[in-house]
Amino acid sequence: MNLILRGRVWKFGDNISGDDGIINMEVVRTQNYNPDELRKICMWRYVPDFYKKTQKGDIIIAGEAFAHPPHPPVVIALKSCGISAVIAKSFGHGFIRKSLNMGLAAIVSPNALEIGEQGDIVEVDPLEGEVRNITKGTSYKINPLPEFMVEMLEADGLVPYLKREFASQASAGSK
Amino acid sequence: MPSTMVEKIIAKHSEEPLVSPGEYVMIKPDYSVSSEPKWQVIENMIKDVGAKGFVHPERVVLVIDHSCEVTTHGPIYEYHNLMRSTAKAQGVEHFYDIGRVGLRHQVMVEEGLARPGGLFFSDEGNLANAGAVGALNFAITYEVYVTMIREKNWLRVPESMRIKAVGKWRRGVTARDLGQRICADLGPVGGAEKAHQYEGDAVYSLSMDERMNLLSLHYHTGSDTAVMKPDALALDYVRSRTREPFEVVESDPGAHYSDVLEYNVSQLEPEVAPPPSPSNSKPISDSLGVEINEACIASCGGGRLDDLRAGARILKGRKVHPGVRMFITPISQEIYKAAVDEGLLGIFSEAGAMVLPPSCSTCWGYLGRMQAGEVMIATHQENYQGRNGSREAQVYLANPYVVAASAVAGKIADPRPLLEAN
């Protein structure tokens, strides 16, 4: 098992709003969890038509308080645009747990903004705790994630991870 | 390596001898606690992942506390029978139906399930009232189902921040005022990925009720949990509730903290938080004179016996203003009975306030809803737009003395002159 996340950098600053910037208050109020609708509004405040510009595997790096406040549609919107990881100096409360459980690698790192510039190709190795900037030929240390967490990300989140676990328990005949 | 009490309690429930902030660990909690609003979704999730049943039913705590009155607002009372039948089928001993104990926050402490050195997962951050007995609550909403169906779930270890309060509590100022001031000072993200550790002689001079109110407010700062080292008063409380063994855990000297906040409560005024959040709290003078239509003493942050006593001190011999309706909710049967025995309910009734059954009641807008243009003052947890009925209504948050004084005046009023008169 070696999960490597590879993609182009999207670089943001501080205080990127979750409910009122990555998504909007309307989808929060109506509890809209539809990925097809959420991807079209994703990052509406900061990058018009973000969903048309992203590629699967792209990686966001950001400053302080990324995605505050983070109702679940924030994570769904980012994932539906293909974002595979977010590395930030700090996150809105609740974002880390929601993200990791939905298979989006959210990593706190004080050096988040040093990792690269907009458009650089980077590789994130969560188990090793390393980010390699392929474009610039540099590398950076980040806090590693433990094996169980990387397994959960590989399974694309908590629910698929649990399904796998209970399915193998059922076939093994154990409780 | 010196550790904080939060780090030590987490380590005790994990596979590690020591843990550090920022680490991810697998936790075996003492309990997994859920109320009924999310129960249908939780059952669907359990089925969806293919789980067959609860691995340790004795560690599951299920409580009906949001919709005890079973009224027409929303479908959640339809989940009562689902929770009842699952509790029975799985052999859940700690199932609290309507009329049994009260809010799950009180179940945890009154039933002796929260104990020093303990750790449990629950659905909401305000269950950190359990921190008053030295137990850690971690709120993971729907995810509580995970440790119902398997041994462990993951946790990111928070940093600890010290919040120290010294000084003498002045008349009309309560633990809630300190709590609201902390919410305002830290703001909604100031506590993110952190745990509040409360200390100082002003914290320890508080009653158990007041300590619980204070700790229950922590999550408005974005923090993970709140705790204090249990003293003799707290340990007496625990021993009166349970014979189960427990371990008093305290922070090591030299442990690392992210912040140290210091307060002198002698300098505190009563606080009032205008909408839309507790972070908006300001000293009372900013809100005096705002006309109100409704006043509520209730919630896991303001419906305990000391809150009812505070309301009664103001309401005794006075009447609720003709333009105001007042609702008072004792948050457990035990508190309700004590209020009866102390003559408080009689004072409330004579004054013209409505006493409601032990439940979440007015706090989440299930009861006591407002129309457009109306204003409420309450000891609730939240005051965001639409919380208590119309999106064009407003909710101010304050301590029970302020709420009662405002109910009498018909507008937001300072309780302190009334307390001097008493």
| B142 in A contact zone (CB under 8 Å) | no
* Residue whose tokens read 């097809």: A36
Which of B135, B129, B100 lies closest to B115, judged by CA?
A: B135
* Residues B102-143 pLDDT 10s: 999 999 999 999 999 999 999 999 999 999 999 999 999 999
pLDDT at A174 over 70: no
Residue to substitute from B19, B20, B45, B49, interface A, most A β-carbons within 10 A: B49
**Chain A residues inside the 8 Å CB shell of B140:** 97
pLDDT at B15 over 90: no
| A98 in B contact zone (CB under 8 Å) | no
A90 in Cβ contact with A64 (< 8 Å): yes
* Residues A10-21 pLDDT 10s: 999 999 999 999
- Alpha carbons A95 and A66: distance in angstroms, whole number: 9
Q: How confident is the model at residue B76 (pLDDT cuts 50, 70, 90)?
A: confident
- Three-state SS at A121: strand
* Residues B212-223 pLDDT 10s: 999 999 999 999
pLDDT at A175 over 50: no
Which residues numbered 23-52 in A keep a CB inside 8 Å of some CB on B? none
CA separation, residue A127 to residues A28, A153, B366 (Å): 33, 11, 46
Question: Is A166 in contact with B26 (Cβ distance < 8 A)?
Answer: no
* Residues A32-52 pLDDT 10s: 899 999 999 999 999 999 999
Residues with Cβ within 8 Å of residue B157, at least 6 apart in sequence: B7, B10, B19, B20, B21, B22, B23, B24, B25
Phi, psi (deg, nearest 5) at residue B311: -60, -40
Residue to substitute from A162, A168, A174, interface B, most B β-carbons within 10 A: A162
Rg (CA), chain A: 16
Region B290-300 average pLDDT: 98
pLDDT, averaged across chain B: 96
Distance from CA of B223 to the nearest CA of A (A): 7
Amino acid B421: pLDDT: 65
Complete edge-to-edge strand list for the sheet that includes strand A5-11 = A105-108, A85-88, A59-62, A5-11, A121-125, A130-133, A138-141
pTM greater than 0.90 (yes/no): yes
- Alpha carbons B272 and B288: distance in angstroms, whole number: 9
Amino acid A173: pLDDT: 67
Cα–chain-centroid distance for residue A59?
A: 7
| A80 in B contact zone (CB under 8 Å) | no
Closest chain B CA to residue A67: B189
pLDDT at B328 over 90: yes
Tokens of A21: 């910037």
Which residues numbered 37-56 in B keep a CB inside 8 Å of some CB on A? 45, 48-52, 55
Interface confidence, given as ipTM, is: 0.90
Which of B72, B71, B60 lies closest to B35, judged by CA?
A: B60
Region B172-179 average pLDDT: 98
Which residues numbered 246-265 in B keep a CB inside 8 Å of some CB on A? none
- Three-state SS at A150: helix
Closest chain B CA to residue A98: B140
B157-172 in b/e form (b: 16+ CB < 10 A) is bbbbbbbbbeeebeeb
* Residues B391-402 pLDDT 10s: 999 999 999 999
